[in-house]
Amino acid sequence: MGVIAATLGSAVGLGNVWRFPAEAQANGGAAFLLLYIACVIILGVPMMLVEMTLGRHGRSDVVGVFKKLEPGKPWWGVGALAILASLLITGFYMVVEGWTAEYLWNSITGALYEGTGESVAQTDAVLKARMGEYINSDFSPLIFTLVVFMINVGILIGGVQKGIERVSNILMPMFFVVLAILCCMTLSLDGAGEGLRWFLSPDFSLITWDTVVNALGQTFFSLSIGMGCIVTYASYYPDNTRLTGTAVIVAMMSLLVALMVGCVIFPSVTHFGLTDHGLAGSTLVFRTLPNVFSMMPGTTFWSILFFTLLFVAALTSTVSMVEVTVAFMQERLKVSRAKAVVLTVVPMIVLGIFSSLSFGSLSDFTIAGKTFFDLLDFIATNLLLPLGGIILCIYVGWFAPKTMLREQLTNHGRTRLLLLNAIVFIIRYVAPLLIGVIMVFTFI
């Protein structure tokens, strides 16, 4: 249970709640959802198994496994790539985690809903202004980003991951329950059908190479794969953990959260007539949802509950991201845990400051049409994660010790696995080919 909970804690986070609806909105709704589901099943689960196999067999950090298994060969470079990806992702993820903390704080103080409640339009206007204050400005989002960094540092240095895990063991199931309640509520709203149809009935003409690569990126992001996070966690797995079962459960749970979030958000968008939310994905969580809470009895209660749960979900993800590099520093460079955490987090904070400001003073500063925040997300999610993933897959499928994959998947022959051959086939042929084709076409 502990293994599943920790891996689930890493996988379920802002990727499902904040990033998924934004991507679905930007990529045509149901068509994107369908591609995402296909990617999770065909590529996501096998890729998780690749990382789990490597981590549990190598019992080391993401660079260390290659130093152990392939001494003197350049395979460890993929570990370096993974560390770079974790640096870039943390650099923007912490900012969104900061917003979550900020919305939680302002739900507690009541500032978020102050002056709302006269009418739908007036409430939305207030919430739009609040978003301007809490996200599209310089000072307060920056402060919350820094606070969130400090909380992560405290957890990682204090070695209280176990404590966090225990908290998350209770809060994670609660998150499912709260999302289910919100689903029931929003699905019964007037006009919900229209949003739901948009989210669930695909228009295949909307699928382009961009949609495909975005679905692939979202798959890697939401399952925490391609950057050694699962390798690192699996290096702590006991020998009798069933890898396939764990991967399938985590992937399905993650998918379920994304689906439920979609069923809460899109019906609300059409119910409230909030379609001017068009461009910026973050409005879906940070403006649409507060609109939903504000019409529910017990607004403050629901808002505090939701943002607390989201914050903990995000926290268990960031801890896992930073751990990739911390484990590397501790094991390879032999520095103390505290030093490793500080050395890892400092460059992340620098990126975090620029990402946060890219919603304020630096919003006009763009590279290739993207703000600093979007650029980090694009490079890490759509390029580095699939690249890391494809190399890991090719290594495990073709170059690793022949028996490693089968031994790990069957716990050295102690458990039977019906689909073993199919999984090996996907890892050797299907996954590298599919990811490769998608990436090549994106570049073209």
Residues that bind ligand PHE (CB under 6 A): 10-11, 13-16, 89, 221-222, 224, 227, 229, 317, 320-321
Residue 89 beta carbon to ligand PHE: minimum distance, rounded to whole angstroms: 6
Record the tokens describing residue 266, joined without a space: 């899109």
Helix (H, G, I), strand (E, B) or coil at 422: helix
DSSP per residue, 314-325: HHHHHHHHHHHH
DSSP 402: T
Answer positive or negative: Cα dihedral of 198, 203, 205, 208. positive
How far apart are CB 227 and ligand PHE at their closest, in Å? Answer: 5
Contact 18, 306 (CB under 8 A): no
Query: Minimum Å distance from CB 132 to ligand PHE?
Result: 25
Task: Confirm if 106 and 130 have CB atoms less than 8 A apart.
Answer: yes
Tokens of 143: 């402060």
What gap in Å lies between CA 7 and CA 376, rounded to an integer? 24
Q: How far is the CB of 161 from ligand PHE (least distance, A)?
A: 14
Give the list of residues 6+ apart from residue 154 with CB closer than 8 angstroms, or none: 160
Q: Which is nearer to ligand PHE, 116 or 168 (CB)?
A: 168
Nearer to ligand PHE, 31 or 89 (CB): 89
How far is 31 from 208, CA to CA, in rounded Å? Answer: 10
- Answer yes or no: are the C-beta atoms of 128 and 136 closer than 8 Å: no
The smaller minimum CB distance to ligand PHE, of residues 178 and 424, is found at 178
Residue type present at position 255? L
| Residue closer to ligand PHE (CB basis): 60 or 320 | 320
Q: In angstroms, what is the minimal distance from the CB of 9 to ligand PHE?
A: 9
Residue 248 beta carbon to ligand PHE: minimum distance, rounded to whole angstroms: 16
Helix (H) or strand (E) holding 365: none
- Compare residues 387 and 424 and give the one whose CB is closer to ligand PHE: 387
Q: How far is the CB of 183 from ligand PHE (least distance, A)?
A: 19
DSSP per residue, 202-262? --GGG--HHHHHHHHHHHHHHTT-SSSHHHHHHTTS-TT--HHHHHHHHHHHHHHHHHHHH
Query: Closest residue (Cβ) to ligand PHE?
Result: 15
| Nearest distance, CB of residue 44 and ligand PHE, angstroms | 11
If the CB atoms of residues 18 and 113 are measured against ligand PHE, the closer one turns out to be: 18
Residue 299 or 320: which CB sits closer to ligand PHE? 320
Question: Could you tell me the smallest distance in angstroms from the CB atom of residue 422 to ligand PHE?
Answer: 25
Q: With respect to ligand PHE, which residue has the nearer C-beta, 217 or 432?
A: 217
- Residue with smaller CB distance to ligand PHE, 196 or 390: 390
| CA within 13 Å, CB half, 318 | 33
The region that residue 417 occupies, defined by phi over 0 for left and psi between -120 and 50 for alpha, beta otherwise, is: beta
